[in-house]
Amino acid sequence: MTPTTEQIATWFDTFNRDYFAGSMPRPRLSLGHSRTRLGSMACRRRRTLLGWKNSDFAIRLSTYYDCTERELQTVLLHEMIHLHIWHEQLKDASSHGPVFKAGIEKKNKEFGRHITISTKMKREVTKVVRMKWNLVAVCRMTSG
């Protein structure tokens, strides 16, 4: 399945309402074609007079692998747990530390999900048609 950004936005709004009580702002949502990451979450962190402030959140999902809708939703939920931690400015030992693991366990138990820290993808790769350009230069020399 190749999702659209509109589908991802709909999933995000539903999960935000049902799983996070609507507490998070909608980040920029985009699709990429990464082979090494199924999803990523990024934000801008800046210092203010009152401490650090996180803003400009972005979640990107990869369409490199041919994933099912449920698998893509699981990747989105994984990234939404990262977003929740950063948005609420919770302290964690690492990106997949104890707070993140507790968030995964809670969502899996409450909602019957199977969110994991990482997964191995050995499935069919989606076929992307890419234009390949070749540039040929021709010149005529005065010597023939």
Using one digit for the tens of pLDDT, what is the confidence trace for 79-126? 999 999 989 989 999 999 999 999 999 999 999 999 999 877 765 555
Q: What is the pLDDT of residues 21-46, one digit of tens each?
A: 999 999 999 999 998 899 999 888 88
Percent of the chain with pLDDT over 90: 58
b or e along 119-135 (b: 16 or more beta carbons within 10 Å of the residue's beta carbon)? eeeeeeeeeeeeeeeee
The 10s digit of each residue's pLDDT in 122-135 is 655 555 555 567 77
Q: Which CA distances in Å does 27 have to 24, 64, 76, 83, 106?
A: 9, 21, 12, 9, 22
Predicted TM-score (pTM) of the model is 0.80
∠ CA 72-6-25 to the nearest 5 degrees? 85
